[in-house]
Amino acid sequence: MKNNRTILTLGLAVLADVSLVTPALAFVNIEWVSVGNVGNAPDPATGSVYGAVSHAYQIARNETTISQYAEFLNAVAKTDTYGLYNTSMASVSYIAGITRVGDSGSYSYAPVAGTGNKPISYVNWFAAARFCNWMHNGQQTGAGAAALTAETGAYTLNGATSGIITKNVGATVWIPSESEWYKAAYYDPNKGGAGVGGYWAYATQSNALGGNTIGNPNSANYYFGGYVGYPGMALTDVGAYGVNSDSAYGTNDQGGNVYEWNDAVISGSRRGLRGGAWSNLGDSDLASSGRDGNAPSLEGNGVGFRVASVPEPSALVLTMLFSAGLVCRRRR
């Protein structure tokens, strides 16, 4: 019974400290999917370089949306010292966006009507990192929120808008590594049968390029004989292609809609981009072979991001309890 009490005490302690390993999602609620199958092999189709991940994690089911980014701006960009808002978010009609009113020190932001569930674009790598810091620190608002919650945490920025910044140990929300992003998009733990993992060429569980019609299987928002919405709204709501075109782990839009930043450092200080965008004239960047990168200061009409996080707390608790139980049995 003593050993059982030890296990119970451990479990209660972990449950009591769940806030230490999970972000507080007070305003922005991320729908996560869990990516397990720890220790999977890399993808041989791309030189066995990408896709292997040695840990469990979560990744956002969807790209970060305009509404979510507007919440972030209202919390930390009253002055907007680091240029987290790009005026093109409001002025470019086919991508808008977010409007800003007021003067520096009292800026206020709001999604353009009807666009809130579309992915944010015109976001550079450093803005995405600051969004992660804000999430990591519990989405604080009010005076000092920008300095206290956007400059440190998952990444130590402290005013940086250039250079190579790496994720901090203990980060709870972050820009996915290239292999984390790649695995969530293309890996299927049952592709070759139950428990036999493998990789698809596209993030729609397919080895063939599909079309861009919403509702059809194996489809994405990219140029396929025409744009989905342009010259009107070029972006589609996140998840609009639904379960017919999701990845094996259940993520949406890892092909098309907007390119997504990852944490890779490519050729100097360039940061990784994957997934293609609404404006792609073909499939080259939607495919798993479509590796790209650009200056981390890039802000474009087809560039956004999604975030990753630690495993869900229940999985951590079960893992720790199971491990403790094994230790107790061995001692007996």
pLDDT tens digit sequence for 94-142: 998 999 999 999 999 999 999 999 999 999 999 999 999 999 999 998 7
Q: Secondary structure of 54-76 in the HEC alphabet? A: CCCEEEECCCCEHHHHHHHHHHH
Please write the tens of the pLDDT for every residue from 178-193: 999 999 999 999 999 9
Q: What is the pLDDT of residue 20?
A: 32
Task: State how far the Cα of 8 lies from the Cα of 3, in Å rounded to an integer.
Answer: 9
Q: Quick one: pLDDT at residue 314?
A: 56
Euclidean distance between CA atoms 132 and 123, whole angstroms:
13
* Pairing status of strand 198-199 against strand 187-188: antiparallel
User: Please, which residues bridge with residue 101 across strands?
Assistant: 108
pLDDT digits (tens, 9 = 90+) for 217-232: 999 999 999 999 999 9
Which residue type sits at 25? L
* In the chain, where the domains are located: 1-22+315-332, 24-311
Collapsing DSSP to helix, strand or coil, 34 comes out as strand
**Whether the predicted pLDDT of 24 surpasses 80:** no
Decide: 263 and 175 in contact? Cβ < 8 Å: yes
Superfamily for 24-311? paralog of FGE (formylglycine-generating enzyme) (3.90.1580.10)
pLDDT score of 14 more than 80: no
pLDDT at 320 over 60: no
Cβ atoms of 274 and 177 closer than 8 Å: no
Q: Are 134 and 26 in contact (CB under 8 A)?
A: no
The rounded Cα 117 to chain-centroid distance in angstroms is: 15
Residue 276, CA distances (Å) to 110, 292, 311 in order: 27, 9, 27
Beta strands in the chain (DSSP E): 32-35, 57-60, 98-101, 108-111, 173-174, 187-188, 198-199, 259-266, 270-274, 292-294, 303-304, 308-309
Mean pLDDT of 262-288: 93
Using an 8 Å Cβ cutoff, are 58 and 307 in contact? no
Find residue 304's DSSP bridge partners.
260
Q: Is 325's pLDDT higher than 60?
A: no
Rg (CA), the chain: 21
pLDDT at position 59 is 98
Q: Please list the residues that pair with 187 across neighbouring strands.
A: 199
